[in-house]
Amino acid sequence: MSLGGKMATKISYINNRENCNTTRFLPNSAIRFRDRHLLIDFMLLLRLISMMKVERAVRESDHQTITAFGFALPAIVCDFSSSEGNFLPMAPWVAPIVREGTFDPTLIDAIYKKQNITIATTVFALGKYTQFLKNFLESAEQNYFVGFRVHYYVFTDLPELVPAVKLGEDHHLTVLTVASSNRWQEISLRRMERLEKLIESQLVNEADYVFSLDVDTKFYGRWGAESLGRLVGAIHPWYYKTHHDWFPYERRPESQAYIPYSEGDYYYGGAVIGGLLKDVYQLAKTCKERLDIDAAKSIEAAWQEESHLNKYFLYNKPSKLLSPEYLWDDIKSKPQEIKIIRFSHVNKNYYEVRPNP
The tens digit of pLDDT for each residue in 157-194 reads 999 999 999 999 999 999 999 988 765 556 666 889 99
- CA 36: distance to chain centroid? 18
Element housing 289 (H / E): helix 277-296
The answer to whether the annotation marks 62 as part of a ligand binding site is: no
pLDDT (0 to 100) of residue 142: 97
Whole-model pTM: value is: 0.79
d(C-alpha 165, C-alpha 133), whole Å = 9
- 100-115 mean pLDDT: 95
pLDDT (0 to 100) of residue 17: 35
pLDDT (0 to 100) of residue 69: 30
In terms of Cβ atoms closer than 10 Å to its own Cβ (0-12, 13-18, 19+), residue 178 is middle
pLDDT (0 to 100) of residue 310: 96
The answer to whether the annotation marks 37 as part of a ligand binding site is: no
- Looking at the predicted structure, is the pLDDT value of residue 82 above 70? no
Higher pLDDT residue, 179 or 84?
Answer: 179
Element housing 309 (H / E): helix 304-315
Q: What residue type is 339 in one-letter code?
A: K
Q: Which residues are catalytic?
A: 306
Nearest to 239 by CA among 101, 74, 99: 74
The answer to whether the annotation marks 326 as part of a ligand binding site is: no
pLDDT (0 to 100) of residue 37: 59
pLDDT (0 to 100) of residue 302: 84
Residue ranges per structural domain of the chain: 90-352
The answer to whether the annotation marks 329 as part of a ligand binding site is: yes
Higher pLDDT residue, 254 or 351?
Answer: 254
What is the DSSP-derived secondary structure letter of residue 90? B
Higher pLDDT residue, 51 or 166?
Answer: 166
Q: How many Å is the Cα radius of gyration of the chain?
A: 20
- Looking at the predicted structure, is the pLDDT value of residue 29 above 80? no
pLDDT-derived band at 40, boundaries 50, 70, 90: low
pLDDT (0 to 100) of residue 25: 32
What is the layout of strands, in order, in the sheet containing 328-329? 217-219, 343-345, 328-329
pLDDT (0 to 100) of residue 26: 34
The answer to whether the annotation marks 243 as part of a ligand binding site is: no
User: Do β-strands 320-322 and 97-98 pair in parallel, antiparallel, or remain unpaired?
Assistant: parallel
- Looking at the predicted structure, is the pLDDT value of residue 236 above 80? yes
User: Do β-strands 86-87 and 78-79 pair in parallel, antiparallel, or remain unpaired?
Assistant: antiparallel
SS3 content of the chain, % helix, strand, coil (to 5): 40, 20, 40
Residue 299 zone, left/alpha/beta (φ > 0; ψ -120 to 50; rest): beta
Q: Lowest-confidence range among 46-55, 125-134, 183-192, 330-339?
A: 46-55
- CA 213: distance to chain centroid? 8
Nearest to 52 by CA among 79, 25, 92, 83: 79
pLDDT-derived band at 262, boundaries 50, 70, 90: confident
Higher pLDDT residue, 49 or 116?
Answer: 116
Q: Where are the alpha helices (DSSP H) in 121-183?
A: 133-143
Higher pLDDT residue, 304 or 214?
Answer: 214
pLDDT (0 to 100) of residue 60: 35
- 113-118 mean pLDDT: 95
The answer to whether the annotation marks 215 as part of a ligand binding site is: yes
The tens digit of pLDDT for each residue in 308-344 reads 999 999 999 999 999 999 999 999 999 989 999 999 9
Name the average pLDDT for the chain: 81
Q: What residue type is 296 in one-letter code?
A: A
**Top mean-pLDDT range of 37-41, 84-88, 229-233:** 229-233
pLDDT (0 to 100) of residue 349: 76
- 338-353 mean pLDDT: 87
- 219-231 mean pLDDT: 98
- Looking at the predicted structure, is the pLDDT value of residue 222 above 60? yes
The answer to whether the annotation marks 171 as part of a ligand binding site is: no
In terms of Cβ atoms closer than 10 Å to its own Cβ (0-12, 13-18, 19+), residue 215 is buried
Q: Lowest-confidence range among 76-80, 93-97, 181-185?
A: 76-80
Correct CATH for 90-352 of 2.40.40.20, 3.40.50.720, 3.90.550.10, 3.40.50.920? 3.90.550.10
- 29-52 mean pLDDT: 53
